[in-house]
Amino acid sequence: MSIAFTMWFILAGGIGLVWLVRLLSLVPVLRRRCILKPRAYQGPPQNAPRISILVAARDEEDNIEACVTTLLDQDYPNLQLIVVDDRSRDSTPAILSRLQRQGGSRLRVVTVRELAEGWFGKSHAMREGVAVSDGDWLLFTDADCRQLSRHTLSIAMCEALTQRTDFLTMIPMLETRTAWERIIQPVCSLVMAFWFMPDRVNDPEKPTAYANGAFMLMSRRCYEAIGGHEHVRNRLNEDIELARLAKTAGMRLRVVENHGLYQTRMYPTLRAGWRGWSRIFAGALGSPIRVATAASLIVLLGLVPWASLVVAVIGLISSSAGSAAPWSTALAAWGVVIVLEQYVLARFYSVVGIQRVWSATYVLGATIMVAMLVNALFKVLGATTTTWRSTTYRGARAVEVPDESTRAPRPPAQPVVEPGTPL
């Protein structure tokens, strides 16, 4: 047997061992998962602290009504909902105006006309919302999130208080309607889970920090201690940066999952997923080394086994009877590796709410994701720009390059409270 075949078998053994270790470690990891569900509801916490809910909305006419109405329908007894209309150009302002009239004193609408110099849009909008809030706790959520239960906020607040948490993140359930969503979302979620394992985030002794902007519940004391959005004003992934600041400051972080409390539909099309996930990877991983490492691991552990299996099949078919043995051995070796890989992936797909059968599309999803990571690498290096919500950015931490069609050249105006909005 040639040296090349020997090295090839060693590679198969190494990759197979990695997937075996992942399989063996998956069981205790799944056992330690904290999943909040409606059936765990025991009522709002006693002496429920005041919660201010902050939602930044820019051109969200398709989502904002479901977001606002399901938040206002929460049974939590002491809440304030603040929606910041961030320079919307669609019917979002009209929808919010109508909802404000219907929502009464619990809903306040703030309108941002211009973007402050040196700020990214979402962080700026959230800062303006916090400025008019009065809650002891702050819940930051997204306009494309929809509550599935009236008890979401009560359950989350009870969890935070019981666990003595300063900063609670609840991972959303992902709504996937198209084939592309089911192909891409699980693979991207796998990368995020690898880099930001909840066990490590929840351990005060570990430096790993993570938060998901879809649901970030933190005490005002925590928010003020880390300097609020001022310190993340020009970061693409302000949620993870806030979590890093909080953990560095000694605050207690906690990441939990949910089943039946709330959901979001992230990116409905391949194009939207490409742009959105490239932006997330650029901001979350942050450095060229981490982005390149993530791409390399996906290629090595996810794609090389399938490429090797194809090579082994072709070699076996084209070989003569006397030289078929090495190819048969290679086929068996890489077949075992793929069985291990697919079993682990099937378990993970069910964890993120995708039917296990879709794990068969992992190769396609992983290929697309490697391309996304390469795109993210260019963004981190500042070689390409990121356009998000009609605004263009260069680099994961760079100062914003404004879209002149939506930004005035003068200093930013103060937030404007719509006429008739309750104080």
Contact 335, 343 (CB under 8 A): no
Does the residue 188 lie in any domain?
Answer: yes
Q: Is residue 225 domain-shared with residue 312, that is, in the same domain?
A: no
Query: Does one domain contain both 307 and 165?
Result: no
Going 171 to 176 to 181 to 184, the CA torsion angle's sign is: positive
Q: And the tokens for 345? A: 């992936």
Q: What pLDDT score does 383 carry?
A: 78
Distance CA 346, CA 22 (A): 13
Q: What's the total number of domains in the chain?
A: 2
Choosing from 345, 365, 381, the residue where a domain stops is 381
Q: Are residues 247 and 306 in the same domain?
A: no
| Whether residue 105 sits in one domain with residue 231 | yes
End position of a domain, from candidates 233, 252, 268: 268
Q: Are residues 352 and 365 in contact, defined by beta-carbon separation less than 8 angstroms? A: no
Say if CB 188 and CB 274 are below 8 A apart.
Answer: no
237 and 364 housed in the same domain: no
Q: Are 165 and 264 in a shared domain?
A: yes
CA distance linking residue 176 with residue 192, whole number of Å = 18
CA distance 159 to 317: 59
Are 262 and 326 found together in one domain? Answer: no
On whether both 47 and 73 belong to a single domain, the answer is: yes
Question: Distance between alpha carbon 114 and the CA centroid of its chain, in Å?
Answer: 27
Q: Report the CATH number that the domain containing residue 162 is assigned in CATH.
A: 3.90.550.10
Query: Tens of pLDDT along the chain (423 residues)?
Result: 588 888 999 999 999 999 999 888 888 888 888 999 998 788 899 899 999 999 999 999 999 999 999 999 999 999 999 999 999 999 999 999 999 988 788 899 999 999 998 898 999 999 999 999 999 999 999 999 999 999 999 999 999 999 999 999 999 998 998 999 999 999 998 888 888 989 899 999 999 999 999 999 999 999 999 999 999 998 888 999 999 999 999 999 999 999 999 999 988 888 889 988 998 998 888 889 999 999 999 999 999 999 999 999 999 998 877 678 889 999 999 999 999 999 999 999 988 889 999 999 999 999 999 999 999 999 888 877 666 555 666 654 444 444 444 444 333 434 444 434 433
Residue 287 lies in a domain: yes
167 and 134, same domain (yes or no): yes
Q: Are residues 16 and 88 in the same domain?
A: no
Q: In this predicted structure, what is the pLDDT of residue 387?
A: 65
Spatial separation of the C-alpha atoms in residues 273 and 164, rounded to whole Å: 36
- DSSP output for 315-350: HHHHS-GGGHHHHHHHHHHHHHHHHHHHHHHHHHHH
Strands, E assignment, 136-266: 137-142, 145-147, 167-170, 173-174, 215-219, 253-258, 262-264
198 dihedral zone (left: phi>0; alpha: psi -120 to 50; beta):
alpha
Range of the domain at 111: 35-172+212-268
| Backbone phi, psi, residue 388, to 5° | -145, 130
Specify if 261 maps to a domain. yes
Inside any domain, residue 249: yes
* pLDDT value for 386: 66
Domain-ending residue, one of 268, 284, 315 = 268
Predicted local distance difference test score (pLDDT) of residue 1: 57
Q: Domain check: are 151 and 262 in the same one? A: yes
Domain annotation covers residue 417: no
* Rounded CA separation 7/30 (Å): 34
394 is a domain residue = no
Q: What pTM does this model have? A: 0.86
Query: Are 225 and 372 found together in one domain?
Result: no
**Helix (H/G/I), strand (E/B), else coil: 72:** helix
Beta bridge partners of 394: 385
Query: How many other β-carbons are positioned within 10 Å of the β-carbon of residue 321?
Result: 6
CA-CA distance, 12 to 14, in Å (whole number)?
A: 5
pLDDT for 325 equals 85
User: Does 89 fall in a domain?
Assistant: yes
The answer to whether position 387 is within a domain reads no
